[in-house]
Amino acid sequence: MAKIKGAVIIDQQRCKGCDLCVVACPTNVLQLQPKEVNDRGYHFAFTANPDACIGCASCAMLCPDACFTVYKVTIADNN
Amino acid sequence: MNSEEIIKNGTLIYSRPKLLNERNTHYCPGCSHGVVHRILAEILEEMGLEDKAIGVAPVGCAVFAYNYIDVDWIEAAHGRAPAVATAASRLNPENVVFTYQGDGDLAAIGTAETIHAANRGENIVIIFINNAIYGMTGGQMAPTTLLGQKTATTPYGRRADLNGFPIKMSDILAQLDGTCYVTRQAVHTPGAVRKAKKALRQAFENVLAKKGTSVVEIVSTCNSGWKLTPAQSNDWMAANMFDKYPLGDLKNI
């Protein structure tokens, strides 16, 4: 079966750290920064586990500040 | 394959709509307004209505919507958006006019304007954000507040004998002959957001087909007013609001 992999780019300065993307992600890719904050003082989201991303764009659907850009590739099996 | 290679070689699944400009919104973190703004900008862009759309935003948190979505906007007095939209759509029949109202605006001070605009079948889209509270002014009771819900002005919960019952505006509007499409949606899960976007698209298509008034109610959260985190607010809404405000199409002709 072909494998699907995804990647997200997060606009970290725009992020308000609302946590909705972290809850929405089915593969637990995202987390909020525990200590670091952006210019506006929010604990922004980052990809803690980028390899698990499947490019489903659930995070992008729920983000109220449109911080996400989502890419996806389908890797064909060589077997 | 690492993330950089995927970004370089992969297909773009989602990116920010260009109509939604770079300005940071003033909404609280996790507010449903942000999601609705985003899907609205996506639809206007997909349907090529950038130059044809006229938005009318009255008073409420969404009063600054003109700052964020780059289409033409008119600022209306509190509750009077459907009246202003009536004039805008009658004088510019080739344009697509929509209002963006909260529950305090549409269901309290602007009830008369809303009902009569819908009853006349004005060719507009009414986007109704129902979060069961007055969010902008500090979380007071709204007409749509649920029985037993605690707000700044009902600290022991809303009582039917003292404060009356929550009003279901979409059900009232669905009874009127002027409306062609009345639906109630939410934006708490990715699936719900996709459905809400489809409903909003249908509403704008109705305006292009000159079918009459379309009402899209979005059951929303106000995490600051409800004193919950954004994720808890979504759960609270799913557990409590949908009993009183069930999702789905109320009218589609």
The total domain count for chain A is 1
The total domain count for chain B is 1
- Give the pLDDT of residue B9: 80
- Give the pLDDT of residue A77: 72
The mean pLDDT of chain B is 92
Higher pLDDT, B202 or B2: B202
Task: Supply the CATH number for residue B233's domain.
Answer: 3.40.50.970
Domain that includes residue B156, residue range: 27-132+141-252
Least Cα distance to B36 among B188, B146, B183, B182 occurs for: B188
CA B217 to chain centre: 6
Average pLDDT over residues B1-19: 84
Token duo for residue A47: 């990809």
Specify the pTM.
0.92
Average pLDDT over residues B158-179: 93
The per-residue pLDDT for range A9-34, each reduced to its tens digit, is 999 999 999 999 999 999 999 999 99
The per-residue pLDDT for range B66-85, each reduced to its tens digit, is 999 999 999 999 999 999 99
The per-residue pLDDT for range B93-113, each reduced to its tens digit, is 999 999 999 998 999 999 999
Q: How far apart are CA B116 and CA B137, in angstroms?
A: 27
Q: A42 at the B interface (CB within 8 A)?
A: yes
- Give the pLDDT of residue B6: 81
Answer yes or no: is B6 within a domain: no
Locate tokens 């305090």: which residue? Answer: B104
Answer yes or no: is B224 within a domain: yes
Q: Select from A14, A20, A56 the Cβ nearest to the Cβ of B230.
A: A20
Q: Is the pLDDT of residue B10 over 90?
A: no
Q: Is the pLDDT of residue A79 over 70?
A: no
Give how far B173 is from chain A: nearest CA, Å: 28
Task: Supply the CATH number for residue A58's domain.
Answer: 3.30.70.20
Average pLDDT over residues B38-42: 93
Name every residue whose Cβ is closer than 8 Å to that of residue B48 and which is 6 or more positions away in sequence: none
Give how far B32 is from chain A: nearest CA, Å: 7
- The burial class, CB within 10 Å (0-12 / 13-18 / 19+), for A5 is buried
The mean pLDDT of chain A is 89
Q: Is the pLDDT of residue B246 over 70?
A: yes
Give how far A28 is from chain B: nearest CA, Å: 15
Answer yes or no: is B102 within a domain: yes
Average pLDDT over residues A42-67: 91
Answer yes or no: is B235 within a domain: yes
Answer yes or no: is B19 within a domain: no
Assign residue B133 a region (left: φ > 0; alpha: ψ between -120 and 50; beta: otherwise).
Answer: beta
Please give, one letter per residue, the 3-state secondary structure of chain A: CCEEEEEEEECCCCCCCCCHHHHHCCCCCEEECCCCCCCCCCCCEEECCHHHCCCCCHHHHHCCCCCEEEEEEEECCCC
Answer yes or no: is B89 within a domain: yes
Q: Is the pLDDT of residue A4 over 90?
A: no
Beta bridge partners of A6: A72
Contact check, Cβ <8 Å, A60/B20: no
Name every residue whose Cβ is closer than 8 Å to that of residue B55 and which is 6 or more positions away in sequence: B65, B66, B69, B71, B72, B73, B74, B97, B98, B99, B100
Domain that includes residue A42, residue range: 3-75
- Give the pLDDT of residue B62: 86
Nearest CA in chain B to A75: B1
The per-residue pLDDT for range B107-148, each reduced to its tens digit, is 999 999 999 999 999 999 999 999 999 988 988 999 999 999
The per-residue pLDDT for range B225-238, each reduced to its tens digit, is 999 999 999 999 99
